[in-house]
Amino acid sequence: MFSQFGAIFIFDFDKNQSKEFVFEHTKFIDIYNDLDNLYLSIKEQIELDNELFETFSFFDQSKYSIENLSKQTSDLFWYQLVGNILLQLSHKQLDKNEMIDLCRQYYQDNLKYLKIIDEFEHEYYSNKVIQWFLKRSFPYKMIKKALQIKDINQLIRLRYFISDLLQSFSNQFHNTIEYEYENFIVYRGMKLSKEQIEEFRKNQGKLLVSNGFLTATQSHSNALNFAKKSIKQTDVIPAILEIECKSKDFHKNILFTDRNKSKDQSNQDDVLFNLHVTFYLDKVELNENIFYIKLRISNEGLNILEKYIEDTRQQIEDLDIELIFAHLMLDMGQWDQSQKYFERLLIDSNNKKQAWRQYSLGQIHRLKGEWIIARQYYDCAYAQMMNPNQMCIKESAQILSDIGELLYIEGKFEEAINFHEQALQIRRKYYSSDHPHIANSLRNIGDIFHKKDRYDEAFVYFQEALTILEKYYKSFHPDIAKCMSSIGYYFREQRNYDKSLESHQRSLTIYEKCYPTDHVSIALTLNDIADSLGRQDKNNEALNVHCRALQMHKKFIQYDHIDMSKYFCTLGHIYSGQGHYDMALESYQQSLAVLKKSFFSGHIDIICLLHNIGVVLNILEKFDDAMIFHRQALTMEEEYYPSFQAKIAQTFIWIGHVLRNQEKYEEALDHYKQALVMQKSYYPLGHVNIAFTLQNIGAILSEQGKYDEALEFYQQATIVLEKHGLHNRCDIAFNLMGFGNILCNQEKLDEAIDYYQRALQIQKDYYDHSDHPNLADTINNIGNLLCRQKKYDEAMKFYKEALRIQEKNYPNGHIKIAITLNNIGHVLMNQTKYDESLDYYQQAYSILVKLGSYYPLDQLQIAFNLSYISDVLHLQKKYQEAVEYQQRALSIREKCLPSTHKQIITSCIKISRSLCSQKKYIDALEFQQRALSIEEKIEPINHTNIVDRLCEIGKNFFDQEKYDEALEFFQQALTIIETSDPFNHGYNATLLNSIGKILKQQQKYDEALTFKNRALKIRETHFPSNHQHIASTLNGISIIFHEQNKYDEALDCT
């Protein structure tokens, strides 16, 4: 807190708290209850800051000779160029008037300074510039601030004074003083923070520039006094700049204001250094608690600047210094300043210069997301270059390329590729084959192929481009970073997330070397890194990187800038990976809102967001809403991107997922098969996505009980994965799990476990045997299979291992930990260890409550947990407590789910069960009838679930000895089973037996025997002769004969 403040002043409005108030901070000055004293103190602090605090920029010159500097954005270039730029501008009375108007506006409420400005207007002449500058009045303050924040437009309006100051360095009158020695040293006392001292130490042996006109004194004692000056701030350290000067450095570098002035101990300004002066930082030494920073003037900065200019002109030939400076600002991310500067340049320029200025304004508006204006400037620039009087065919390729990039952003890919191919054709004609312009055209074309899901073709372009760029630049350059980003996207779509992350990290390294720390390209690359980390299931790390990127980006773009959609989208991916689906949905909707403000309604990025929203809605079981979004996206794809068959195929798959979750298996299967046809046509040589579609078809067939067909599709998927899916071995592991699921559905549990074990080993190898959270998921699944085999001790070992991994990865808790705790609870419940089981369920409940229940999916997990607790309480015969917990679960489900959801049915059934156990049959009947009513709305009339509900109600009436009502419900159930599922022999026999039991209670013995015998016949036909149900049926028949006094017949049945 307060890190952005230079000093802290506190004003006591009550005028009675000053003595009691305690505030400790290194930047704290004092507490005031008088405004005049406060104003005076602030004024003194500002003057002290001006004298004691300076800022510097460092430059590592060690590799500049072998690096291409064309896109580097060092402050060294800015401060070396800005003086030349200002000297090229006009210096007339009108310019003086412009400066005075600006100053009056700036100090409009300060009568003292307005009076000084009036004095300046009437008395200032160029030969008085030093005198006025050293007064530290309004010109000094405004110029110093503008230089520190690199406000070129402010400096241009102050140019009348600054030009005079710069010209003074060439004025021989000030620099003809004879010196006793060829070399001498000047000093500047100052205050530095610990961080600044460390920065100087770290940059020993490197170059630096002062971010303004640096003043110094020839008197060491004077500088020492300033360094030791007592101030209230405690977070700064005294330091002295010790600058070695040589007589050959004087010209245009050093200005001696008044040699005798060094005797005046109130200042350090008898020596003034020009803006462009570069210093070599020799060393930093501590001497008697004073840090001495030893510098000397270096000409190396000029050599570096000349190379920067030369390298920039290799990109665009014949650029003048004004344009080079303007592009430097643009590269630094100073879009608004650069725009104003170009607009000023545009007013007065010849046709060729005007074309480049218009082109540059097009670049700025493109970066700002103002594409219509950008295209207008591009078109004007192109028209200028195509003017028959000065045809610039070679240069026009740059504009064609940028128009192509603009069209790419707008989602107009066919037009974009035409412009890029035109640009490439021109560049191949005018440039050597290894020129970076050719590489950039290749990358642009590759990006379009990537958008079309033609990844292999895209990668060929990316590799060719990268080869050219690395050969040309030899080391770091933003063009290489852009190409690495494209390659990172390629690897992401190949599901090779390690290489994707590696590519984006290399981009980041380059951008951080070439650009300022808060540059837009750095922020966007951090966002890409966050996305890659999220896809590796490193969601917490991804979230931290994403927050850093977003905070950085918000510094220089508006909330509704198009780039914000990327951040919201990535955040949605991360939240989804964390299981926070409602938060993911909110982020996707924010992203979509930004896109809709900038793009036409059918833009491909809007389509992508519609799908993202649909996917989350499907997970949240809002199937109808999900289907609306996917179908809306499909309509757009078919209208605007009909050739993008791979994307349309993916849309069919997402629709298939929704239908599958709705248990509309035939419709889902149809969509998957249509997608498969499209994918095979689009990828004739095969693609990993084909394997995923084959898996989806296999999963549906398995759920339909068509296990042989399902296995066949998984076998096909295996072949595709072995050829195209080697980048991500986890895809092969997932495929093995698919085999395991089919075998599990076939009750071949040992074989299923074997497949899961093989999958687990692949995952362990892929994750280098680390405790990756995905391992816990697979281990949990093996535990579930063992639990089904009633191998509870073995299952427990797997669940405990999964829990260990999860607790290591999620120290602050996670929904997955709660699920694993519940699994352990299930095992203990099955082992009749009810107290221990309840303890684990309660632990899971505590975690879920701690994580929060603000979103429906989180609340639903809590509902599951409450239901599990209810189950244990029911088994412990604590029926009323069981009802209470289950009613809490039901209340949550009613709030979060549609009124006809199956989970509501489950709660109603369990509540009725516990109520029946308390003989509260009337209350139970209410819940049973509600469950039946919902089943009848969501299931076909002949569905087995309806039969179950009818039987439950029938049993309720039976227990109440209401046999007629009971008989009616069981007969309804029997009619449905006999009609819809006649081969369900077990269920048929059970219903016949139950009806016989009711008839017996009604003493309708002959009818009872008829139903009992029908049940017996089915069981003897379809069950083994020693099956217990056959024995129980015979026993029931024997009892009826006995009650009819037919003892021989009764004896025959025993």
Cβ atoms of 200 and 293 within 8 Å: the answer is yes
Tell whether the model's pLDDT for residue 740 goes beyond 50: yes
**Residue 619: closest CA among 860, 370, 309:** 860
For residue 954, is pLDDT > 90? yes
Task: Provide the whole-model pTM.
Answer: 0.80
Strand partners, 189: 240
508-522, 551-565, 623-637 — most confident range: 623-637
In a domain? residue 787: no
Q: Is the pLDDT of residue 235 over 80?
A: no
Question: Alpha carbon 750 to chain centroid distance?
Answer: 41
Instruction: Say which residues have a Cβ less than 8 Å from residue 502's Cβ, sequence separation at least 6.
Output: 488
Q: Which residue type, as a one-letter code, is found at position 711?
A: L
Closest CA to 948 of 972, 968, 924: 972
Closest listed residue to residue 457, CA positions, set 442, 441, 446, 443: 446
What are the C-alpha distances in Å from 593 to residues 282, 514, 565, 606? 54, 33, 8, 9
**Range of weakest confidence among 110-114, 886-890, 920-924:** 110-114
Task: Indicate if 587 and 667 belong to the same structural domain.
Answer: no
650 and 596 housed in the same domain: no
Distance CA 569, CA 586 (A): 10
In a domain, 822, yes or no: no
Q: Same domain for 546 and 573?
A: no
Backbone φ and ψ for 4, nearest 5 degrees, come out as: -85, -5
Specify whether the CB–CB gap between 308 and 294 falls below 8 A.
no
Token representation of residue 540: 């917490």
Quote the distance between the C-alpha of residue 431 and its chain's center.
39
Helix (H) / strand (E) element for 839: namely helix 834-851
Evaluate whether 535 touches 492 at the Cβ level (below 8 Å): yes
pLDDT at res. 336: 86
Burial class (CB in 10 A: 0-12, 13-18, 19+), 217: buried
Same domain for 185 and 274:
yes
pLDDT at 469: 94
Residue 894 CB coordination number (10 Å): 15
Per-residue pLDDT for 316 more than 90?
Answer: no
User: What average pLDDT does the segment 995-1017 reach?
Assistant: 91
Instruction: Quote the radius of gyration of the chain (alpha carbons, Å).
Output: 40
CA 919 to chain CA mean position, Å: 56
pLDDT band at 577 (very low <50, low <70, confident <90, very high): confident
The number of helix segments (H) and strand segments (E) in the chain equals 47, 11
Per-residue model confidence (pLDDT) at position 378: 93
1 confidence band (pLDDT: 50, 70, 90): very low
Domain extent for 134: 75-170
Angle separating helix axes 321-331 and 351-367, nearest 10 degrees: 0
Q: 743 near 752, Cβ under 8 Å?
A: yes
Residue 554: predicted pLDDT: 76
My answer on whether 105 and 213 are in the same domain is no
* Angle ∠(210,68,403) on CA atoms, nearest 5: 105
- Note the maximum CA span of the chain: 144
H/E stretch holding 94 reads: helix 93-106
User: Count of CB atoms within 10 A of residue 319's CB?
Assistant: 17
Closest CA to 766 of 726, 735, 805: 726
Same domain, yes or no: 522 and 617? no
In a domain, residue 857? The reply is no
Q: In whole angstroms, how far apart are CA 283 and each of 218, 228, 661?
A: 20, 21, 69
Q: What is the mean pLDDT of residues 212-224?
A: 90
Distance, CA of 997 to CA of 1012 (rounded, Å): 8
CA atoms within 13 A on the CB side of 265: 8
Nearest in space to 79 (alpha carbons), one of 108, 100, 56: 56
Element (H, E) at 11: strand 8-11
**181 and 140 in a common domain:** no
Query: Does residue 829 fall inside a structural domain?
Result: no
Cα-to-chain-centroid distance, residue 358: 34
Kindly state the average pLDDT of the residues 805-827: 91
At 637-674, the pLDDT tens digits run 999 999 999 999 999 999 999 999 998 999 999 999 99
Is residue 643 within a helix (H) or strand (E), and if so which, with residue range?
none
Q: From 608, 634, 660, give the residue that closes a domain.
A: 634
**Domain co-membership, 122 together with 138:** yes
Average pLDDT over residues 386-397: 84
| Last residue of one domain, picked from the residues 732, 761, 790 | 761
pLDDT at 434 over 60: yes
Percent of the chain with pLDDT over 70: 91
Question: Which residue is listed with tokens 């700036």?
Answer: 106
217's tokens = 């004194």
Q: How confident is the model at residue 3 (pLDDT cuts 50, 70, 90)?
A: very low
17-44, pLDDT tens digit by residue?
Answer: 544 444 454 455 566 555 555 555 655 5
3-state class of 445 per DSSP?
helix
Residue 1017 is assigned to a structural domain of this protein: yes
**Is 734 a member of any domain?**
yes
Q: How many CB atoms are closer than 10 A to CB 876?
A: 15
Same domain for 628 and 514: no
Query: Which DSSP string corresponds to 490-519?
Result: HHHHTT-HHHHHHHHHHHHHHHHHHS-TT-
The confidence band for 50, taking pLDDT boundaries of 50, 70 and 90, is low
SS3 601: coil
Residue 269's closest CA among 217, 210, 307, 319?
217
Question: How far is the C-alpha of 793 from the C-alpha of 831, rounded, in Å?
Answer: 9
Domain boundary pick from 277, 305, 333: 305
CB-CB contact of 68 with 472 (8 Å): yes
Q: How far apart are CA 119 and CA 549, in angstroms?
A: 49
Clarify whether residues 529 and 653 are in a common domain.
no
Domain-located, residue 824: no
Q: What is the pLDDT of residues 174-203, one digit of tens each?
A: 454 545 556 789 999 988 888 889 999 999
The torsion angles phi and psi of 412, rounded to 5 degrees, stand at: -100, 75
| Domain of residue 217, CATH code | 3.90.176.10
Q: How confident is the model at residue 398 (pLDDT cuts 50, 70, 90)?
A: very high
Assign 173 a pLDDT band (cuts: 50, 70, 90). low
Q: Which long-range contacts link 629-636 to residues 24+ away (Cβ below 8 Å)?
A: 630/654, 630/655, 630/658, 631/655, 633/607, 636/601, 636/602, 636/606, 636/607, 636/610
Q: How confident is the model at residue 16 (pLDDT cuts 50, 70, 90)?
A: low
Q: Are 724 and 712 in contact (CB under 8 A)?
A: no
Task: Assess contact for 248 and 300: CB atoms under 8 A.
Answer: no
Q: How many residues does the chain have?
A: 1054
What is the pLDDT of the chain when averaged over all its residues? Answer: 88
CA distances from 721 to 43, 563, 642, 689, 742 (A): 72, 35, 28, 9, 19
Which residues are CB-contacts of 90 (< 8 A; sequence separation ≥ 6)? none
Least confident of 4-18, 163-177, 449-463, 862-876: 4-18
What is the spatial distance between Cα 403 and Cα 412, in angstroms, rounded to a whole number? 11
The string of pLDDT tens digits covering residues 243-297 is 999 887 777 888 888 645 444 556 788 889 999 999 999 999 999 889 999 999 9
- Residue 775 · residue 763 · CB < 8 Å: yes
Q: What is the CATH number of the domain that holds 755?
A: 1.25.40.10
pLDDT at residue 493 above 70?
yes
Residue 603 CB neighbour total at 10 angstroms: 20
∠95-338-147 over CA atoms, to 5°? 60
Query: What mean pLDDT do residues 888-901 have?
Result: 91
Same domain, 284 and 185: yes
In this structure, of 341-350, 639-648, 971-980, the range with the lowest mean pLDDT score is 341-350
Q: Are residues 300 and 191 in the same domain?
A: yes
Question: Measuring CA to CA, how many Å separate 696 from each of 122, 492, 576, 665, 690?
Answer: 85, 21, 21, 11, 10
Q: How far is CA 630 from CA 573, 581, 600, 623, 641, in A?
A: 18, 17, 18, 10, 15
Highest mean pLDDT among 5-19, 377-391, 545-559, 826-840: 826-840
CA atoms within 13 A on the CB side of 1002: 18
Domain count, the chain: 7
* SS3 label, residue 939: coil
Phi then psi dihedrals of residue 515, to 5 deg: -120, 165
Task: Identify the helix (H) or strand (E) that includes residue 193.
Answer: strand 183-193
Whether 333 is in a domain gets the answer no
